[in-house]
Structure 1
Amino acid sequence: MGLNNLFSIYNYYATDYMLGTIFHFGLYYLLFINAFYLYKDGSKYILLNSQKDNTTISNSLISIQSAENCKGFSETICQLPEIENNKFWNWFAGIIDGDGNFDIRIDPISKKKSLKQIRIKLHNRDIRILTRIQNYLHLGRIRSDKNKPYSIFIVSDKENMIYLLNHLNGLIRLKVPNFKEACHIYNIMYKEANYNIELYDPYYSGLIDTDGSIVYNYSGNRIECNLEFKYNEYTSKLNFNNTIKNSKPFIIIRKKASKKGGSQNFTSIAFKFQNVNDMLFIYDYFMKNRLYSDMKFYRVSKIKSFIEIRKYKTSTRNSLEHKIYSNFVIDFIKYENPLWYKVPCVDKYLLYKE
């Protein structure tokens, strides 16, 4: 299947300047002209200024990867295309809307509001999500909870928080009240996001990485991709009808009891891609927008194999076909899931697992 390509998320563009020709020509070109149009996106141009203007090239316009990240090239500079930069921020907005928090505090004396921190809290199983964010942004710190299996990505520096607010503006859809407050604190004009999530938008993968689930449905003999939130004015506006090609989610609004017990019931809204025909398109979406929750990405990566053997579910018990199906199901449920043995359907397939 070409696993190296499957797990790769970036396409790097490199110029080997040891040869001297192309690089030096480009360098002198930049020094003697006033501007060079590096990238065009519709009617939008990103301007790369020459050093004659005494202008520093902004990191927000060009992302540079170090040479050692580009295998096969020596003394290279690798530019990350702007489209990949946008993909990160859309995915990151999904992470924030899933498990992020804008910590707004009120001074007891002055009554003024302040943004203390921007945080993301995840289970240690998914710490790769936090390290990806930190490595990409080159800011923030990750702190582990000593008593619980959780880690927190924290940004508390004012300049860095403003940087994040500016880049997330127009992308936040669920954590809107505190995000708007944070923008107001730093005199940033809030931009409302588009709630119609477009085809292959990485925002959806960020939500799945944090609040979503990839599950095996025993009775339906299928693999599903699900999201569920508390029903409110923001979650009710989410529209994933065009996000995954040829697929629309089944939407369920229902009353649920609070996990803390008592009489505090609430209404939830669930978005479920649960049709058998959706499976291949779910796979295709996440191959374009990979998950950084290893357990969830592992499950997505098994979809193609499952399509090939799902017909074996009804095979005669003790047959080779049924054994293949059973071992697949156990492996799917067991991977990085310490409570796998509590899944109701597992007892039906443990017979074959070594």
Structure 2
Amino acid sequence: MSTAVVAYESASLNDRMKYAQTLAAAGDLIPRGLWNSASNVNGVLVPAAPSPGKVLLVMETGAMLGLMPAAALQSIDVVEGKATLSARLMGALIRKAGHKLEVVKTGSIPGGDYSVTVTGTRADDGSVFTSTWDIPRAIRAGLVQSYEPNAQGVFEVRARSDKGGIKPWEAYAETMPVWRGMSEVGREGFADVLFGLYSTEEITDGGIPVADPDPEPSEDWPALIAAATTRAELDDIKDRIAAKDEGTDKLRAAWLARAGVLSREENTEDADVVPDDPETPSDGEVAYPSAPLPSPSEGLTEEEFEAAEAARFDAAMDAGEVDRD
């Protein structure tokens, strides 16, 4: 077999699929927007992981645009099953094709008069396309909630999520109008370069897509798992979670941890009390050893114990309960 490097564009579909699977196995090196969320498969909770299908879609889109796979993975996202381009990539592709793209900024965010005008001029026929974005327009589009002066007379942009988190239109108020204007000009005047693709910023209101969010729970699963007193009760909870397709990595960790606790309790109750070495402590009471940890125990294998500890640690890291330094 030849060891020559075969260009992605000329590779067979089977080779491309294998390449996508290989890249997906890179785990955290793959952008979160290309991950699948945790899911249930035949009642088994499957953790979130990079999606070979999304990776392949991104690479195929990149090939269509003349991009190498590595470049495509860094600048193309999958949103709602569709490939989208970062506005920065749109601008790069337009200029690479020989067209002119100009960005003019006026005013300032604190002054209340910030505005961005993007102008694209085609190299073939000289056609000009223009788009102007400012914060008032973003308010009309529902991207920003308010743009008002504070007590010191300095204008501030407010764009928050339903949970109160700061959205990109507030965090990057000077940059977002640029991306919107560039996306608008690109789609209107340079569809032949961008193949009609939307920008990621347009589809996500300026946010960077991440893995699909965990489903909203229909019941307080963590509380139910913690309150379970028997393995049968715990298994019933797992079946209900699976039936409603609401499984997450953290619920899996909580379930495994609770299963371990119940198994240890059952083993403790069934264990024969054996005196330790017949030495008596100074207080006059005979010391007995604590019940050993089950390994493996009924209904919980060593692998499950290890998975529980690993999952609990990961959940603690995500929740900020463990110092990363």
Q: What TM-score range do you get, normalising by the shorter chain? A: under 0.3
TM-score (norm 1): 0.23
TM-score (norm 2): 0.24
Structure whose CA Rg is larger: 2
Q: Which has the larger share of strand?
A: 1
